[in-house]
Amino acid sequence: MTKPQAQDYGATVLRASLGTMFLAHAGLKIFVFTLPGTVGYFESLGLPGVFAHATILAELVGGFALIAGIYTRAVSLALIPLLAGTITFVHGANGWAFTNEGGGWEYPAFLIAALFAQALIGDGTFALNTTIRRLRNPQA
């Protein structure tokens, strides 16, 4: 395997991992905490309840887009404020370590770095963006 191939596969692994993580978190909010429970939690933080719905939608759409490789760079950057919000409103006051009570800000900060790295390196292999580009311009 050449270095560019390895880098493309690495980007794909990161993209699929991040996408899966966002889908898992959306599923947690929908199926475990339930929509009313998630809305109530957001409201207990002083946030409008509609932010819960927007967060779940962003996690679902963003997760699927990352896994599929659709607008990977833009989606990665668009999801960063979501995680910054978790640091600001949920985990920031709990200290660094995510093992602290209530979870610290270590994990969301790492995910922000991973999303930024994904935005820098792009789609990787097996991305719909690549397939669409090839169909539009077969000579490239």
In this structure, are residues 82 and 58 in contact, taking their beta carbons and an 8 Å threshold? Answer: yes
Q: Calculate mean pLDDT across residues 15-33.
A: 98
Residue 40 phi, psi (nearest 5): -60, -40
Which of 48-52, 97-101, 130-134 is predicted with the least confidence, judged by mean pLDDT? 130-134
Tokens 């809305």 locate to 39
Q: Using alpha carbons, select from 36, 34, 33 the residue that is nearest to residue 49.
A: 36
Q: Using alpha carbons, select from 95, 121, 111 the residue that is nearest to residue 17.
A: 111
Q: Calculate mean pLDDT across residues 37-54.
A: 98
Tens of pLDDT, residue by residue over 82-127, are 999 999 999 999 999 988 898 899 999 999 999 999 999 999 999 9
Residue type, 23: L
User: What pLDDT was estimated at residue 140?
Assistant: 62
User: What pLDDT was estimated at residue 77?
Assistant: 98
